[in-house]
Amino acid sequence: MHEGRRIFLIDDDEIFLMISTVNLKTVCSGVEILTATNGEEGLTQFENVQPNVVLLDINMPVMNGWEFLDKLSGSPASPYQNSDCSIFITTSSVDPEDRQKAQQHPLVKGFIEKPLTAEKIKAMDIC
């Protein structure tokens, strides 16, 4: 367990955020869970939050997960450049292209299908 770790959930589904927060706190004692409801909000908060892990949805209003990743990695001044952060896609998408895109993206460490269960959290080894 890593005390003081921050896990940042970026997802527009309030129920997913609530259930995932409970599951993460159950599996990962001593972590701080932070949330944003779209990629733009997540990007705005990223530097201040300084997360160790980001769990990122793909399909969101305002700015989707792919746009978030593009903006986060798009410039040398990006807050991600000086960060020790693992990003996982957490999605209900069953599109094989999304899985392939996630596997090929240099910032993405894994592709997790919703729901975010205790077993999936343990398998990610994020806490």
pLDDT band per the 50, 70, 90 thresholds, residue 80: low
d(CA 74, CA 76): 7
Summarize the confidence of residues 113-118 as an average pLDDT: 94
pLDDT band per the 50, 70, 90 thresholds, residue 93: confident
Percentage of the chain with pLDDT > 70? 91
CB 53, CB 20: distance < 8 Å: no
pLDDT band per the 50, 70, 90 thresholds, residue 1: very low
What residues does each domain of the chain span? Answer: 6-124
Tokens at residue 100, please?
A: 């392939």
- The verdict on pTM exceeding 0.75 is yes
Q: Please give the mean pLDDT across all residues of the chain.
A: 90
Instruction: Give me the CATH topology for the region 6-124.
Output: Rossmann fold (3.40.50)
Tokens at residue 75, please?
A: 């410039």
